[in-house]
Amino acid sequence: MLSNVFTKTIRDRAVAMLIGSVSIGVMLWWGMAVYRDIDIGFYYENLPPAILDLMGIPSGGDVAGIAVGAMYNLMGAFTLAGLAISMGAYAIAGEERDGTFGLLLGNPLSRRRVLLSKAASLISVTAVGALILWGFALVVPGWLGVDMTGIDVTAVVVAMFLNALVYGFLALALATWTGNRSLGSGAAVAVMLIGYLGASILPITENLADWARIFPWYYFSGSNPVVNGIDWGHTAALGGMSLAFFAVAFIGVARRDLRQKSVDRTIFDLLRENPRTKGLMDRIAGSARVSRISIKTASEFQGLLVITAGIMFILGISMPLFYSLIPEEFTQLVESFPDALVAMVGGADMSTFEGFLQAEIYSITAPVTLLVVTIVMGARALAGEEERQTMDLLLSNPITKTHLITEKVFSMIAFAAAIGLATFLGTWLGAIIAGQPVSVGNLAAASVLLTLMGLVFGGLALALGAAFGKSRLASGGTAGVALLSYFMFSFFPLSEAFAPWAALSPFDLYLGSDPLTGGMAWLDGAILMAVFAALVALSVPLFQRRDLRG
Amino acid sequence: MSEIPAIRTEKLTKHYGDVKALIDLDLDVHMGEVFGFLGPNGAGKTTMIRSVLDLIHPTSGRAEILGMDSHEDAVEIREHVGYLPSDLSMYPSLTGLDMVTYFSNLRGGVDMGYVDELVDRLQADLTKKVGDLSSGNRQKVGLILAFMNRPEVLIMDEPSAGLDPLIQREFQKMLREFAAEGRGVFLSSHTLSEVQRVADRVGIIRLGHLVAVESVDGLRTKAIRQVDLHFNGPVEASTFESVAGVREIVVSNGRATLSFDGQMDELLRVATSNYTLVDISTQEADLEEVFLEYYREGRAT
């Protein structure tokens, strides 16, 4: 192993892991603090295991179980795995794309030794994250006086760690074998998300329950380590998968010609290279997409749009169908959900179809998906051009900075609207297919408010990028504000002292009026729109007053 | 030569915190000339260019391009300026042609026939993605973007980085043609030979100060050159010591070899009035030495 490759990789990645795991730890703390004062024991015993699974909550627990379940089983596991995927995909293929792998191999090292060092740093950084989460879970209950009887923190942390390695090594294997970083990370994320949904949803229906075993996520959550402790069979399965993926990478890394510093080939490029399709493709992918700044910006993010709008459309179609499969007794049980649990899914009343849609689509999934797009687009609109050092060239053309911002904002609005529309159409279509009566106007209202809220956070990211010229600062800062806003909206109302503050959250302007049952809240919509417009307007002077980074 | 200068700066100053990147820079670049801007790395060349183009704001002082204020009229200025940034970055997933199309759409009024001519002259490949091009080939795309609207003022920051010598020659020819058409060319560089070949005047910047502005011919007369004088009989070294600009004398038989940076007519007068001069040869003035002298002085202060 190469100690300096190892330490450099750790240094590059440690900060992200620290931020990620400490945030999850802090959320565990807040979550436990909010749940502590609420008597949930009675309700908790009556909840069906299926719905608990979806929310990552282990059956048989209490305050500690809910908090550890929601924060660790779901968000913690996704965070650790997400960071492992990004490390795995970058390890070899990323260095190749950046042209630094050749530089590294200019020294007397073999490819496999580099790979080993990269794998060791992936394991170490993930272990650090897991240790931090373990530490929080040991310390926080003590501070808050929460009883941890029956909760096996070590088991869940070990399972989370191994689970993250599975996806990290899957990304490593795919990216290293092909030399394509985006392929590695994209496929690993897809396997993870599909696995999560499959492993959580399939067990609800009895005759499909066994199919859950085909998903890797099942070997993480299926044995319910929070209350049942370590399941050695599942642990071995996770370890075995990681090893197998690593073996693929080990063979793959030495097998092929290395790429030079390069840009990824898209399907458009292949069609443009083919003489038969070249003429048509040049018109579509060439001159059309560079006809103006907004369209060029849109084309840069087209992949992201296709994926996110696709996810929302498919979720929209499938959730109503899923609702119609849920047995009647289930909805009766759901009516007895405790407020605290309801808060976790954005305050939705799951016993009605509208409430179910809100819990499964509108309160978390749709905002997260939409915010990823608007925040990334907002943060990169100006700061991204500066970081790529293309701003000087762009501004050598006779355009004003206001015009530049307007164009960038156009593309952001179009994308947010497209995702809102995909969510609306998917859900509407799903409701028709499933034969569930739903008000089209209310669905549209929720989708419009959703879009406007997404734009507010996109506008914030734009303004931060305009002010500082750093896209990571802009997206990280905005994501932090968004998380806080969600927390304010969903958890503050549980406590009398905090409840009035919830109204400050953009999430409250979006869902507070319950648009899925109440229809369009025009005032809330107007406020969201005004805040967005103000943030965009503010970006102009922030951008103009500053020296551009060159 | 037009009366409005291509570029004019008045006491242009830029500080980054405690670092004084540019100090009281006064400069006129005329239409119809190629102005070479020379200085070692970190001297303030790029800071000056980015201030003039309103990409960064000067701490004090002001700049004009074609008589327009660099900040107030920034957008109108860009209609008349072609600019090539240093360390050129472009959108890696666009082809060269996409880049040209994008920028001509933003700019308007670009003659694609002229673009084809530029592609020919620079032997550029516009079909590949710029991210897959070598740095020299990428630079050619940048040059085309700067030239394509036939700007009245060209501002180029380290333009010949990565270009092969043949293309460098062609590029220098294009600069001369631009100047000959009455346009202004501002060429920042640290390639001395390029500036020597193509520029009418040079400005030398060091540690943020403009230390000299001279015509290239003027610099040449200042340059130390080697002069060989052949006489029909033995000569005395002392004869030449009185001539201003004589640095070093080596005398052997009828031959005197001098390091000389003075006026040639005075040397010839002294040589011919005392002896019979048979032959004379001089080596081309080495501007590189002159430049290096300016740079070195900077280090001493």
Domain that holds residue A166: 1-271
Distance in angstroms (rounded) separating the CA atoms of residues A518 and A374: 26
What integer pLDDT is reported at residue A58 of this predicted model? 59
Same domain, A30 and A63: yes
| pLDDT above 90 (res A343) | no
Burial of A332 (0-12, 13-18, 19+ CB in 10 A): exposed
| pLDDT above 70 (res A208) | yes
Indicate the average pLDDT of chain A: 85
Distance in angstroms (rounded) separating the CA atoms of residues A204 and A193: 18
Nearest to B78 by CA among B92, B68, B63, B91: B68
Copy the structure tokens of residue B214: 């001279």
Distance in angstroms (rounded) separating the CA atoms of residues A124 and A130: 10
Best mutation target among B59, B88, B102, B128 (most A Cβ atoms within 10 Å) is B102
Say if the Cβ atoms of A396 and B85 lie within 8 Å: yes
C-beta separation of A59 from A224 below 8 A: yes
Closest approach of A547 to chain B, Cα-based (Å): 4
**pLDDT tens column, A128-163:** 999 999 999 999 888 888 878 778 889 999 999 999
Question: Which range scores top for mean pLDDT: A93-102, A484-493, B195-204?
Answer: B195-204
Say if the Cβ atoms of B89 and A388 lie within 8 Å: yes
Q: Report the SS3 class of residue A218.
A: helix
Q: A138: how many CB neighbours lie within 10 A of its CB?
A: 13
C-beta separation of A58 from A139 below 8 A: no
Complete domains list, chain B, with CATH: 7-220 (3.40.50.300), 224-284 (3.30.70.100)
C-beta separation of B156 from B132 below 8 A: no
Distance in angstroms (rounded) separating the CA atoms of residues A56 and A12: 31
Q: What is the ipTM of this complex?
A: 0.80
Element (H, E) at A75: none
Copy the structure tokens of residue B8: 């004019």
Residue A286 lies in a domain: no
Distance in angstroms (rounded) separating the CA atoms of residues B66 and B184: 9
Q: B55: how many CB neighbours lie within 10 A of its CB?
A: 21
Element (H, E) at A159: helix A153-178
Residue A344 lies in a domain: yes
B230: Cα within 13 Å, side-chain hemisphere: 5
CA–CA–CA angle A327, A329, A332 (5° rounding): 120
More confident residue, B154 or A333: B154
C-beta separation of B245 from B263 below 8 A: yes
- SS3 of chain B: CCCCCCEEEEEEEEEECCEEEEEEEEEEECCCCEEEEECCCCCCHHHHHHHHCCCCCCCEEEEEECCEECCCCHHHHHHCEEEECCCCCCCCCCEHHHHHHHHHHHHCCCCHHHHHHHHHHHCCCCCCEHHHCCHHHHHHHHHHHHHCCCCCEEEEECCCCCCCHHHHHHHHHHHHHHHHCCCEEEEEECCHHHHHHHCCEEEEEECCEEEEEEEHHHHHHHCCEEEEEEECCCCCCHHHHCCCCEEEEEEECCEEEEEECCCHHHHHHHHHHHCCEEEEEECCCCHHHHHHHHHHHHHHC
Same domain, A389 and A478: yes
Closest approach of B85 to chain A, Cα-based (Å): 7
What integer pLDDT is reported at residue B10 of this predicted model? 96
Residue with the two structure tokens 């990824």: A264
Query: What Cα–Cα distance (Å) separates residue A287 from each residue in A228, A267, A281?
Result: 60, 17, 9
Same domain, A400 and A265: no
Distance in angstroms (rounded) separating the CA atoms of residues A53 and A43: 16
Is A108 in the B-facing interface, judged by CB distances under 8 Å? no
Q: A393: how many CB neighbours lie within 10 A of its CB?
A: 22
Same domain, A229 and A306: no
A550 CB neighbours in chain B (<8 A) are: 46, 50, 55-56, 85
| pLDDT above 90 (res A261) | no
C-beta separation of A401 from A542 below 8 A: no
What integer pLDDT is reported at residue A293 of this predicted model? 93
Same domain, A214 and A313: no
DSSP letter, residue A61: -
Residue A181 lies in a domain: yes
Q: A61: how many CB neighbours lie within 10 A of its CB?
A: 21
Distance in angstroms (rounded) separating the CA atoms of residues A448 and A521: 10
C-beta separation of A360 from A314 below 8 A: no
C-beta separation of B85 from A393 below 8 A: yes
pLDDT above 90 covers a percentage of chain A that reads 43
DSSP letter, residue A547: P
Is A37 in the B-facing interface, judged by CB distances under 8 Å? no
A341: Cα within 13 Å, side-chain hemisphere: 30
Same domain, A500 and A382: yes
Say if the Cβ atoms of B106 and A262 lie within 8 Å: no
Residue A287 lies in a domain: no
What integer pLDDT is reported at residue A486 of this predicted model? 87
B interface with A, Cβ–Cβ below 8 Å: 46, 50, 53, 55-57, 75-76, 78-79, 81-83, 85, 87-95, 97-99, 101-103, 105-107, 129, 131-132, 142, 145-146
The structural domain count of chain A equals 2
**pLDDT tens column, A87-107:** 999 999 988 888 788 888 888
Distance in angstroms (rounded) separating the CA atoms of residues A2 and A394: 42
Q: Report the SS3 class of residue A109.
A: coil
**pLDDT tens column, A398-446:** 999 999 999 999 999 999 999 999 999 999 999 998 888 889 999 999 9
Same domain, A365 and A457: yes
What integer pLDDT is reported at residue A40 of this predicted model? 53
Same domain, A446 and A322: yes
What integer pLDDT is reported at residue A300 of this predicted model? 87
| pLDDT above 50 (res B301) | no
Residue A51 lies in a domain: yes
More confident residue, A324 or B24: B24
Is A291 in the B-facing interface, judged by CB distances under 8 Å? yes
Q: B94: how many CB neighbours lie within 10 A of its CB?
A: 23
What integer pLDDT is reported at residue B262 of this predicted model? 80
| pLDDT above 60 (res A44) | no
Distance in angstroms (rounded) separating the CA atoms of residues A66 and A344: 10
Backbone angles phi, psi at A26, to 5 degrees: -65, -40
Same domain, A220 and A364: no
Distance in angstroms (rounded) separating the CA atoms of residues A309 and A531: 24
What integer pLDDT is reported at residue B1 of this predicted model? 45
Element (H, E) at A359: none
What integer pLDDT is reported at residue B299 of this predicted model? 47
| pLDDT above 80 (res A43) | no
Residue A524 lies in a domain: yes
Average pLDDT over residues B236-242: 86
What integer pLDDT is reported at residue A50 of this predicted model? 58
What integer pLDDT is reported at residue A42 of this predicted model? 41
B107 CB neighbours in chain A (<8 A) are: 397-398
More confident residue, A143 or A386: A386
Backbone angles phi, psi at B16, to 5 degrees: -110, 95
Closest approach of A402 to chain B, Cα-based (Å): 11
Residue A378 lies in a domain: yes
Say if the Cβ atoms of A397 and B103 lie within 8 Å: yes
Backbone angles phi, psi at A61, to 5 degrees: -100, -170
What integer pLDDT is reported at residue A370 of this predicted model? 95
Q: Report the SS3 class of residue A469.
A: coil
Distance in angstroms (rounded) separating the CA atoms of residues B39 and B29: 17
Looking at A201, A236, A271, the residue that finishes a domain is: A271
Closest approach of B193 to chain A, Cα-based (Å): 27
Among the residue ranges A324-338, A459-473, B39-53, B132-146, the one predicted with the least confidence is: A324-338
What integer pLDDT is reported at residue A248 of this predicted model? 96
- Give the model's confidence band at A236: pLDDT under 50 very low, under 70 low, under 90 confident, else very high: very high
Query: What Cα–Cα distance (Å) separates residue A527 from each residue in A97, A371, A421, A505, A519?
Result: 44, 18, 21, 12, 16
Copy the structure tokens of residue A358: 């809100």
Residue with the two structure tokens 């943030």: A535
Looking at A239, A271, A303, the residue that finishes a domain is: A271
| pLDDT above 90 (res A13) | no
**What b/e sequence results for A481-509 when a residue is b if at least 16 CB atoms lie within 10 Å of its CB, and e otherwise?**
bbeebbbbbbbbbbeeeeeeebeebbbbb
Same domain, A133 and A177: yes
DSSP letter, residue A517: H
What integer pLDDT is reported at residue B247 of this predicted model? 80
What integer pLDDT is reported at residue B5 of this predicted model? 95
Same domain, A241 and A308: no
Say if the Cβ atoms of A262 and B105 lie within 8 Å: no
Q: Report the SS3 class of residue A288.
A: coil
**pLDDT tens column, B124-144:** 999 998 988 999 999 999 999
What integer pLDDT is reported at residue A52 of this predicted model? 60
| pLDDT above 90 (res B180) | yes
| pLDDT above 90 (res B240) | no
Same domain, A230 and A334: no
Say if the Cβ atoms of B89 and A292 lie within 8 Å: no
Nearest to B107 among A293, A300, A398 (CB): A398
**pLDDT tens column, B98-122:** 999 999 999 888 999 999 999 999 9
Among the residue ranges A34-48, A191-205, A275-289, B167-181, the one predicted with the least confidence is: A34-48
- Give the model's confidence band at A495: pLDDT under 50 very low, under 70 low, under 90 confident, else very high: confident
